[in-house]
Amino acid sequence: MFRLPLVVCLMAVFFASAALAQTYPLNQSSPVTDAFTSGGVANCQRGWRFQVNASGVTVSQMGCWYPDGTTSQKTISLFDANSQALLAQVTPSVGTGWRWANLTTPVALTNGGQYIVTGFTVTASYYFRSVTGMTQWMPTGTIQYLDMRYANSCTSTTFPSSTLSNYQYGVVDIGYTTGPGITVAATAGTS
């Protein structure tokens, strides 16, 4: 019968996908350790535009660094940089340091596509600094930093069209996995 090989194959696919490790482009670096300035303005989007340089990249988490003493949540958004479409939003719980939230529906990114991850808050609770020469804040490789993006006097769904080069402002990030999509088809009558 073909049932046993099908079960074994399905188990292999399940365990292979469960083993995919989450990758964070900013490596959960600390803006405190790297002497970022805290403050900013309220009711704004702050984040960064990036390019995807690999196939099979799927965003399953988004997060931000909360400054000590912050009591206001940030809404983290993922936009398509070309169409300006809002692809996903999460609101990580308030805490100290990096805080993450899982996407209800993971978002598959296109190789060569450009995207923007931003954080919105109603308070002035961001970290920022020029990151020229600070490679931990300007990733290359699968996810490549392009520039800082922002919008002022806005809402959490406003597309951030303004640009600053060589800055990190807002300290937001994605969590992603890489791997090919796996399709398993069972053919009746095979053993």
Q: What count of other Cβ atoms lies within 10 Å of the Cβ of residue 5?
A: 12
User: What percentage of residues in the chain have a pLDDT greater than 90?
Assistant: 53
- Give the pLDDT confidence of 127-152 residue by residue, as tens digits: 888 888 888 989 999 999 999 999 99
pLDDT of residue 23: 92
Q: How far is CA 120 from CA 70, 127, 156, 159, 190, in A?
A: 13, 13, 5, 11, 54
- Give the pLDDT confidence of 71-125 residue by residue, as tens digits: 888 999 999 999 999 999 999 999 888 999 999 999 999 999 999 999 998 887 7
Q: What is the DSSP letter of 27?
A: T
pLDDT of residue 180: 66
Just give the CATH number of 23-178.
2.60.120.820
More confident residue, 149 or 170: 149
pLDDT of residue 11: 41
| This prediction's pTM | 0.82
Query: Residue 168 forms beta bridges with which residues?
Result: 129
Which residue type sits at 34? Answer: D
Q: Listing from the earlier edge strand, what are the strands of the sheet with 126-130?
A: 37-39, 126-130, 167-169
pLDDT of residue 36: 86
**Distance from C-alpha of 75 to C-alpha of 89, rounded to nearest angstrom:** 7
